[in-house]
Structure 1
Amino acid sequence: MIDVPVTDRLLPLITKADRLLEAFERLVLSAGILLMAAVSIANVASRNLLGQSFTFVEELNQILMVLITFVGIGYGVRHARHIRMSALHDQLKGTTRKALMVIVSLGTGLLLLVLAWYAVQYVIGVHRTGSVTPAMRIPLYLIYAWVPVGFVIGGIQYLLAAWRNLTTPGVYLSFQQKEAYEPPAGGET
């Protein structure tokens, strides 16, 4: 019997879980953006045609903005679309470059998980107050619950990037995204 390394057995499971999470994020982000656009357009139409605005639109758009922002953290990290300060990274080569990517990914992942813990404490505090939104009467803790969820998803994505860099050849900006530089457009150097 051939013994398969743990990393070779885990990679397909992690990849499948990551794809499912990505599908969830796409659904939430798409629905959130489309709902925000639809409600805003309906409000403008109502205001201009009927002279009446919907009272809940601004509140709903703020809720959707929280949702989109924090669910979008994981999506942005997964596709390496986050802000990167790469001046030092770009100057390094080989294992030093890879080591820096591991350190940055681990550090950022752990920081996001710490922020998630603080966000959970905040959500618990908001829940205890019983606060609700003024127009729609939605409990605020339900809205703010997306903050720790987003931090956890982002933290996991960074930790997966570190793991990928530790177990796979090449430098990965995220679990899915291998580092690659495109040549400048128009033949510029």
Structure 2
Amino acid sequence: MAVNTVANVIMRLGFSSSIFFSEELNQFLIILVTFVGISEAARMGRHIRMSAFTDMLGPRASKVMMIFITLGTASLLFLLAWYSVDYVSSLITSNRLTPALRIPYYLTVLIVPFGLCVTGIQFVLAALTNILKPGTHLSYQVEDTFDDADEHHL
């Protein structure tokens, strides 16, 4: 994405002509990075979370809350994946093409249902890890740790 953007700027400034597909390619790459990235963030326990409330709870209540949150998040992601499959299906039947590259538009968003579904699976695995293992886990491989020493730095 960076190489494409820099090349387009050089072309525009140096040769007064843009790369005709540059903006479109960057849009596709942003979609790809986003929906691959959310799954990786969930796998590594690096997703955005509001931990102030759960940090005040005891270990057992925090664990129960984490199970509830991860299952709720997984459910929402699977629902969004379902809707995105419907959207991709409608794009397939519309035969819509991208303006610059003239490729079927649905190819550019196929990663969306896949990314949402894989991320949902990551949250289900986090819930199962919290159910089956001691401690509170942000993902199936990352345990939540709270250090009282961090409180003094605030």
Query: Tell me, which stretches of 5 or more residues in structure 1 are unaligned?
Result: 1-35
Q: 1:51, CA displacement in angstroms?
A: 1.7
Structure 1 stretches of 4+ with a deviation exceeding 4 A read none
TM-score of the aligned structures, taking structure 1 as reference length: 0.77
CA distance in 2, matches of 1:181, 1:79: 17
**Equivalent residues in 2 for 1:8-23, closer than 5 Å:** none
Query: Tell me, which stretches of 5 or more residues in structure 2 are unaligned?
Result: none
What is the aligned counterpart of 2:79 among 92, 114, 124?
Answer: 114
Matching of residue 46 in structure 1 with residue 45 in structure 2:
no
- Give the total of aligned pairs: 153
Q: Tell me the SS of whatever aligns to 2:99.
A: coil
Matched to 1:139, the amino acid is P
Q: 1:184, CA displacement in angstroms?
A: 3.0
Q: 1:47, CA displacement in angstroms?
A: 1.5
Instruction: Report the identity percentage.
Output: 44
2:130 corresponding residue in structure 1:
165
What is the aligned counterpart of 1:62 among 27, 52, 57?
Answer: 27
Kept after mapping to 1: 8 A contact 2:55/2:146: no
1:92 corresponding residue in structure 2:
57
For residues 13-55 of structure 1, give each alpha carbon's deviation from its aligned partner in whole angstroms, at most 9, with x where no partner exists.
xxxxxxxxxxxxxxxxxxxxxxx01111111111222221111
For residues 67-109 of structure 1, give each alpha carbon's deviation from its aligned partner in whole angstroms, at most 9, with x where no partner exists.
1111111011112221112222111112211111001101111
Matching of residue 184 in structure 1 with residue 141 in structure 2:
no
TM-score of the aligned structures, taking structure 2 as reference length: 0.93
Query: Which of the pair has the greater relative contact order for Cα pairs under 8 Å at 6+ separation?
Result: 2
Matched to 1:184, the amino acid is D
Q: 1:188, CA displacement in angstroms?
A: 3.2
